[in-house]
Amino acid sequence: MATKYVICLTEKERYELDSMVKMGKTSGRVILLALALLFCDISPEGRGAKTNAQISKELNLSERTIEKLKKRFMEGGIEVALKRKKRPTSPLTLKFDESFQAKLFGLASSAPPAGRARWTVRLLAEKLVELGIATKGISHMTVQRFLKKGSLK
């Protein structure tokens, strides 16, 4: 893979990366990436620039990872290069909100279906699907957790 980005670290940057590697107080991933940046340094005071293939073999990283690391460093500096990018949204979406909980409590407080003495969590789950309040995949354990969280037993 052809190298697009050439890294030439300043004395301050080199010191910061060296201290991260030697102190060992950060995560292993950050230390590994800091080492990769140090190996990429072409300045005379650096550790001697190595090719992406050499760094890849020595640190057990892919060449693509090293190239992306160099790109992030050139565009944003050390902080951007070593830290993971924050997701704009959470990977977990809220499936049930307060209105669902209110409808569930209302249903659980109502009279049970004919031929039953009381509501069971399985019956509640089935009725929620039947009424269109919840999707077909709702688990009876989800209903139980909502009831427990709301202190409705």
Rounded to the nearest integer, the mean pLDDT of the chain is 86
Please state the rounded mean pLDDT for residues 71-100: 83
Task: Tell me the pLDDT tens digit for each residue of 47-56.
Answer: 777 888 999 9
Please state the rounded mean pLDDT for residues 91-96: 69
Check whether 151 has a pLDDT greater than 70. no
- The pLDDT value recorded for residue 145 is 87
Q: What are phi and psi of 7, to 5 degrees?
A: -100, 125
Residue 40 CA to residue 146 CA, distance in Å, equals: 53
Separation in Å, CA 33 to CA 12, 26, 64, 65, 89: 17, 11, 13, 9, 26
Task: Tell me the pLDDT tens digit for each residue of 113-145.
Answer: 889 999 999 999 888 888 888 878 788 898 888
How sure is the predictor about 148, in pLDDT bands with cuts at 50, 70 and 90? confident
**Sole residue written with tokens 């670290």:** 9
pTM score > 0.85 for this model? no
Residue 143 CA to residue 147 CA, distance in Å, equals: 6
Q: How many residues does the chain have?
A: 153
- The pLDDT value recorded for residue 87 is 80
